[in-house]
Amino acid sequence: MRNAWLIMAHNEFEVLRLLLSKLDSPDSDFYLHFDRKVKTLPALEPLQHGRLFVLEERIDGRWGDISLVEIELLLMETALKNGPYTHYHVLSGVHLPLWSKEELIRFYDSHPDETILRLWDRNDEEADFKMRRFHYPVRDFKSANRVRRKACQLTWRASLRVQKTLGIRHLRNEVFYKADQWLSLAEPACRYLVDNKKSILKKYKWSFCPDEFFAPTELMAHSETGACFHYPQLLYAEFGVDSPRTFPLEAYEELKKTGCLWARKFTGRKVQ
C-alpha cells in the first residue's frame, strides 16, 4: 500500500537526510516543505526507490501561529493530487523512526481506514485559554529579534487581560481535542481537512498553538472522516519547560528501546 510522508523542515538537514534514507521504499512518496526563512535549500541525495516532491510554495512558519496549520494543509493538498494513499503522515524534519520501515509499513497497513494519532488528556482549562480567546499577535512570540519578541508578548498579554475583564470568548460551544500534530491521516480524513481548508483556517486563525487542536477536533466531530486510533506509543518526546528536549544522533540506538514508533527532535550537533 502507498504512503505519503509530509515533512515540515526548517533546519537540521543532516537529520532530514537520514529520515529520508530510513523511509525510502517503492511505495513511498515524500512531500517536503522548507520554511520560507531557509535562505539556502540543502542538497538532497536522489532517493533510490520513492519519489520526492519539494514544494515550490513556501510559508513562513511561526511557533504558536496559524501558519503551521497552513503548512500542514498545503502538504496534504499537494499529496492528494497524487493519491490515493493509505496514510498521509505528518512529520517534522527532525523526526526519526524507531522501527524499521518494514515494521512501520506493516503497522500502518494494519489500520488502513483509521487515522493514527496520540491524543492528550482532555484539559478544558487549556482549551478555553488557547482556543476560545483571541490571541493577537503571536507571530513573533519566539522571534530571535528581542525587540519584536518583547513587543509581541507585551501586546499579547495586554489583549488577554482586556478579554478576561470583558468576558470575551468565541467558539463557546465547540468541544476541543488535543493531539500531537504529528499524526497519520487516512484518506477520507485528509480529504475532509483539505476540502474544508478555508473554514478551518478562518475558525482557528486567532487560536494559540492550533496545530495541536485542529485535526483531532475536526475529525472527532465528523464521523464520515473515519475512525481515530489513539496509539500512546506513537511518538517519544521529552518535554522541558516550553519545548521538547533535543536528542543527539548518538542517542538513536538507545531510544529504539522505548518501543515507540518515532522520536523527535534530533540534532546532528553536539548537545550540552
Tens digits of residue pLDDT in 121-159: 999 999 999 999 999 999 999 998 999 999 999 999 999
The per-residue pLDDT for 243 is 75
pLDDT band at 239 (very low <50, low <70, confident <90, very high): confident
CB atoms under 10 Å from CB of 132, counted, come to: 18
The rounded percent of the chain whose pLDDT value lies above 70 is: 99
* Residue type, position 92, single letter: S
- State residue 205's pLDDT score: 97
DSSP string, 171-237: -TT-----B-S--EEEHHHHHHHHHTHHHHHHHHTT-SSGGGTHHHHHHHH-GGG-EEEE-TTSEE-
Confidence of residue 249 (pLDDT cuts 50, 70, 90): very high
pLDDT at 29 over 80: yes
| SS3 state at 30 | strand
Q: What integer pLDDT is reported at residue 165 of this predicted model?
A: 96
Least confident of 107-111, 124-128, 219-223, 268-272: 268-272
For residue 134, what pLDDT is reported?
A: 97
Rounded-to-integer distance, Cα 149 and Cα 141, Å: 5
pLDDT at 241 > cutoff 70: no
Give residue 1's pLDDT: 83
DSSP 8-state code for residue 250: G
Report the pLDDT value the prediction gives residue 270, as an integer from 0 to 100: 79
pLDDT band per the 50, 70, 90 thresholds, residue 81: very high
Mean pLDDT across 172-180: 96
Give yes or no for residue 37 having a pLDDT over 80: yes
pLDDT tens digit string along 177-201? 999 999 999 999 999 999 999 999 9
- At residue 272, the pLDDT reads 64
DSSP readout, 77-93?
HHHHTT---SEEEEEET
| Res 50 pLDDT > 70 | yes
In angstroms, what CA-CA distances link 32 with 145, 153, 179?
Answer: 27, 31, 22
Domains of the chain: 3-121+177-267 (3.90.550), 134-166 (no CATH)
What value does the mean pLDDT take over residues 232-249?
88
| Entry pTM | 0.95
Average confidence score pLDDT of the chain: 95
Residue 245 in contact with residue 237, Cβ under 8 Å?
yes
Residue 45 has pLDDT above 80, yes or no: yes
